[in-house]
């Protein structure tokens, strides 16, 4: 067994894939084509449920199953108002892995997923919450730093990895995400105790990704410093920051926050509804960019690793490159 396979063994065993490389769910991007291509190339694809209704998720899982010869997972957002119906849809299709994103899993959700026989993978934003999630019985954790694309936490990947891996890597497989663009970084996190990694940005420009050509061009042109985090303008409205390539929509988000803050002031909406409106805004803005190709008015969610995306290439080539780079780095260290 090669060194990389050895270091990834717990990850590949959990996922049932050749490599413990997840393509993190990306709303609108991680649909049947990209997800099946990732899994068929030996990685692990994850459908992004995002704001889909149970009916849409049902159709997407069915279509992905037709194309995928290997395991894939489904990512559900914990604040989705129909979370439990979505869990039922996953159970109906016998989905083997459910990834819960966007905050602590609500009461009963872990149990409901596990009762279906699926493995549960959760995002852990801090060591304390990671410990709590392990005690609640999650099968694996993703730790994602603020270099990542999309919704982000406040701490960098390198610090999260140092805080969480030495304490918890023995207990459950941990996948490191955020800012990974090359295999040398994968090798580093594996040596620190990670069982695998999750990448998003690096896969957006895959040939098999249905992202609009304009969206892919914006990624290929951008450098790391173009992928900036959104700014919170009202302290009462705790919006989760989003990292995206800077464009006109970056400013439009400031206006949206003002509009929602005014609704809060008037008492027209409560905090839960205010946050849902912000999330719907992002879903709509991302759709405009990914599907319609509106790269100025839409949101170009991307991580800092976007600077390492230089061309459109197949998923198989991207995974092969990452694995070769990681293997070479590990060999180099003897
Ligand atoms: C365009 C885009 C959309 C994303 N949408 C989601 C999502 O719907 N749910 C989620 O859990 N993570 C989402 N993410 C985060 C990815 O799943 C992944 O964890 C992240 O991209 C990893 O960091 P990287 O971009 O530095 O590789 C998104 C990322 C991007 C770039």
Would you say the CB of residue 209 lies under 6 angstroms from ligand 1?
no
Is 204 in the same domain as 217? Answer: no
Local confidence band at 124 (pLDDT 50, 70, 90 cut-offs): very high
Would you say the CB of residue 180 lies under 6 angstroms from ligand 1?
yes
**Share of residues in the chain with pLDDT > 70 (%):** 100
Q: Is the pLDDT of residue 103 over 90?
A: no
Per the CB < 8 A criterion, the answer to whether 111 and 77 are in contact is: no
Q: Is the pLDDT of residue 251 over 90?
A: no
The CATH number given to whatever domain includes residue 116 is: 3.20.20.70
Is 64 in the same domain as 135? Answer: yes
Would you say the CB of residue 75 lies under 6 angstroms from ligand 1?
yes
Mean of the pLDDT values across residues 33-59?
97
Ligand 1 probe mutation, 21, 22, 23, 26, most atoms within 8 A of CB: 26
Is 195 in the same domain as 314? Answer: yes
**So what's the pLDDT on residue 97?**
98
**So what's the pLDDT on residue 236?**
81
Would you say the CB of residue 45 lies under 6 angstroms from ligand 1?
no
Is 176 in the same domain as 233? Answer: no
Is 109 in the same domain as 133? Answer: yes
* Residue minimizing CA distance to atom 13 of ligand 1: 26
Per the CB < 8 A criterion, the answer to whether 75 and 47 are in contact is: yes
Spatial distance between the Cα atoms of 33 and 47, rounded to a whole number of angstroms: 10
Per the CB < 8 A criterion, the answer to whether 31 and 47 are in contact is: yes
Domain count, the chain: 2
Would you say the CB of residue 122 lies under 6 angstroms from ligand 1?
no
Is 162 in the same domain as 83? Answer: yes
Condensed to tens digits (0 to 9), the pLDDT of residues 194-243 reads 999 999 999 999 999 999 999 999 999 999 999 999 998 888 888 889 99
Is 133 in the same domain as 282? Answer: no
Is 168 in the same domain as 274? Answer: no
The tokens describing 250, both together, are 């970056």
pTM over 0.95: yes
Q: Which of 101-105, 267-271, 330-334 has the lowest mean pLDDT?
A: 330-334
Is 79 in the same domain as 141? Answer: yes
Q: Which of 42-46, 55-59, 85-89, 230-234 has the lowest mean pLDDT?
A: 230-234
By residue range, what is the domain housing residue 105? Answer: 3-210+309-332
Q: Is the pLDDT of residue 15 over 80?
A: yes
Please give the angle made by the CA atoms of 104, 110 and 113, to the nearest 5 degrees.
135
What is the H or E stretch that residue 120 is in? strand 119-123
Can you tell me which atom of ligand 1 is nearest the CA of 147? 26
Local confidence band at 49 (pLDDT 50, 70, 90 cut-offs): very high
CB atoms near residue 132 (< 10 Å): 14
Select from 157, 175, 208 the least CA-distant residue to 319: 208
Spatial distance between the Cα atoms of 229 and 288, rounded to a whole number of angstroms: 19
Spatial distance between the Cα atoms of 121 and 153, rounded to a whole number of angstroms: 17
Is 289 in the same domain as 227? Answer: yes
Is 198 in the same domain as 220? Answer: no
Is 32 in the same domain as 61? Answer: yes
CA of 189 to the centre of ligand 1 (A): 19
Mean of the pLDDT values across residues 130-141?
97
Q: Which residues of 203-236 are buried (b: 16+ CB within 10 A; e: fewer)?
A: bbbbebbebbebbbebbeebeeebbeebeeeeee
């Amino acid at each position: 067994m090669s060194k990389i396979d050895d270091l990834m063994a717990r990850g590949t065993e959990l996922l049932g894939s050749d490599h413990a490389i997840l393509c993190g769910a990306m709303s609108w991007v991680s649909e049947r084509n990209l997800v099946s291509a990732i899994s068929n190339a030996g990685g692990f694809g994850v459908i992004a449920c995002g704001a889909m209704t149970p009916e849409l998720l049902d159709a997407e899982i069915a279509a992905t199953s037709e194309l995928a010869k290997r395991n894939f997972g489904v990512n559900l957002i914990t604040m989705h108002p129909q979370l439990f119906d979505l869990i039922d849809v996953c159970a109906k299709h016998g989905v083997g892995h459910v990834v819960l994103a966007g905050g602590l899993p609500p009461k009963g959700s872990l149990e409901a997923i596990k009762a279906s026989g699926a493995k549960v993978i959760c995002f852990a934003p801090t060591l304390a919450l990671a410990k709590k999630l392990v005690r609640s019985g999650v099968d694996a954790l993703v730790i994602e730093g603020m270099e990542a694309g999309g919704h982000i936490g406040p701490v960098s990947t390198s610090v999260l990895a140092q805080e969480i891996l030495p304490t918890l890597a023995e207990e459950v497989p941990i996948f490191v995400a955020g800012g990974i663009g090359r295999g040398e970084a994968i090798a580093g996190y594996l040596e620190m105790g990670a069982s695998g990694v999750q990448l998003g940005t690096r896969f957006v420009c895959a040939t098999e990704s249905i992202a609009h050509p304009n969206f892919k061009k914006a990624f290929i042109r951008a450098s790391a410093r173009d992928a900036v985090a959104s700014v919170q303008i009202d302290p009462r409205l705790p919006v989760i920051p989003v990292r995206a390539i800077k464009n006109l929509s970056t400013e439009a988000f400031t206006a949206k926050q003002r509009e929602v803050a005014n609704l809060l002031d008037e008492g027209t909406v409560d905090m839960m509804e205010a946050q849902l409106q912000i999330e719907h805004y992002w879903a709509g803005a991302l759709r405009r960019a990914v599907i319609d190709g509106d790269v100025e008015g839409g949101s170009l969610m991307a991580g800092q690793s976007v600077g390492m995306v230089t061309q459109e290439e197949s998923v198989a080539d991207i995974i092969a490159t990452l694995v070769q780079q990681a293997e070479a780095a590990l060999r180099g260290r003897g």
